[in-house]
A and B are shown apart, each in its own frame.
Chain A
């Protein structure tokens, strides 16, 4: 192929423009959102949860969660007086369509426990990723980079809370993003927005005016599996000891 000087001079700026547009593929940062000013978590008030499944449906809609997989789900516990440490746990379709009605048990109790990624400050899942595809952001949200993820599922095994899955079509690890696309725009998460009783609340631990600080001081709040030292940031109020 012969390229004359004239053609080369035309081609060069065209190539430069094309390369610029390739580089410009990454979206801009949200203008008013400063990552260093937030440290996100969630508060779950067990005595308020009615097991309606609104959070599960809202999450699936907002985040296109594939059928049969869950970024958040609700479990119904049945704990009997004589077997406190072996509860009977059900979660039909993640609690998406609610739960079958149960009759009062004179020898036990029933309650609901919503679960989601705990957005651990020292998360086991980010430590095992061999390619740097999962990480905790400076504002405390554990995310997956779908362009870097190989789908090796090390993180799926590492999560002590079972909050990750391999996306059946994308073949990459997928999980709760704490609705990062919403919270960075000043909205709450889809699950919190749609919780009718306020059993789930998004909390910002770096915001001194957030009611979470008052709540943590005045209530008996737990995290799941504290013995694993994950630094979980999903706080449960009124959590029963039988919940694992």
Chain B
């Protein structure tokens, strides 16, 4: 008695299955990125792609390498821990090419009150003013040096 007498159609089907499986493995090898699964169930190359995004804020270390005079004045004043770009805006382009990209001088009428306008929600020990009552429209930098704003500390212009 031959068990496999009429089993030809099964072998043909098994052959098809094996071919399909090999095809699956080959396609999978091409489609799945090489770095997938290096650290976990994700594409590890995505980490490097995100790390390679461009920087817009240069960081105060970059500013201080050239603007040492201002860094010294600022370092002694009340604004010692306020970083340059917090007021001057994103300036990585200026740091990379100081000649062709020039920063715009901030408008103190908008800038200073962002932090120093009085509100009960701000911490009590933080210096706050009512702009209209405090200066009556006189620009802040008339009396205060923004880099070292305390008047009695010799910061006045």
Contacts and interface: CB of A to CB of B under 8 A. Distances in A.
Interface of A: 26-30, 33, 35, 47-54, 58, 61-62, 76, 78, 98-105, 110-112, 132-138, 143, 145-148, 177, 180-182, 184-185, 187-188, 190, 193-198
Interface of B: 35-36, 39-43, 45-57, 59-60, 79, 81-83, 85-86, 89-90, 114-115, 117-123, 126
B9 to A, nearest CB: 38
B42 A133 contact: yes
A78 B4 CA distance: 83
Contacts of B36: 132
A102 B60 CA distance: 33
Given A132-B36, A148-B42, A182-B55, A196 B60 contact: no
B85 to A, nearest CB: 6
Contacts of A137: 39, 47
Contacts of A50: 115, 122-123, 126
Top 4 A-B pairs, shortest CB-CB distance: A110-B121, A145-B46, A135-B42, A181-B53
A51 B122 contact: yes
A62 B93 CA distance: 12
A47 to B, nearest CB: 6
20 contacts: A26-B45, A27-B51, A29-B51, A33-B51, A51-B119, A58-B57, A100-B119, A101-B119, A105-B120, A132-B36, A132-B40, A135-B41, A135-B42, A146-B46, A147-B46, A181-B52, A193-B83, A194-B57, A194-B83, A196-B86
A62 B56 contact: yes
